[in-house]
Homo-oligomer: A and B are copies of this chain.
Amino acid sequence: MKQAATSLDTRTDGPGLYELSDETRRWAETQGIETGLLTVFCRHTSCSLLIQENAAPAARRDLERYFSSIAPEDAAAYEHDEEGPDDMPAHLRAALTQTSLSIPLMGGRLTLGTWQGIFLFEHRRRAHERSLALHLLGV
């Protein structure tokens, strides 16, 4: 049994889903692990992780609109406003989605389904440097 860990850093430029499937797969599938477990961890509270539809851009736009509608920017609704009107909805959208993902590997490959992509879900308006921790273990 062996393991590997790394940081995957990326720059976001406003709200939306940023696909990281290729970068993640490239790292996870080149560590000499046939059977194992990949963990992706988001080190922030105003962006999050999501495994979702990787083919239809319209589905991603609907996802973005949906989370904007159920956790809207609304200055009157939130007590916490020191970091701008998009900060508290960002925390809510992060709470509704994922901070960590666990994906098994079999046959040297992530077991992602055909239509599954790994996305960083940015909830803030300003550009941000975002950092994910990746951990892999197996044989």
Contact = CB atoms under 8 A, between A and B. Distances in A.
Interface of A: 1-3, 5, 35-37, 39, 41, 43-45, 50-53, 56, 58-59, 61-63, 66-67, 70-71, 78-80, 82, 88, 91-92, 94-104, 106, 111-113, 115-116, 131, 133-135, 137-139
A3 B1 contact: yes
A30 to B, nearest CB: 18
A87 to B, nearest CB: 8
A35, A58, A61, A104: which has the most chain B beta carbons within 10 Å? A104
Contacts of A39: 37, 102, 104
Contacts of A66: 71, 92, 95
Contacts of A101: 99-100, 102
Contacts of A43: 111-113, 116
Given A35-B3, A97-B95, A104 B62 contact: no
Given A97-B95, A115-B45, A104 B78 contact: no
Nearest to A100: B102
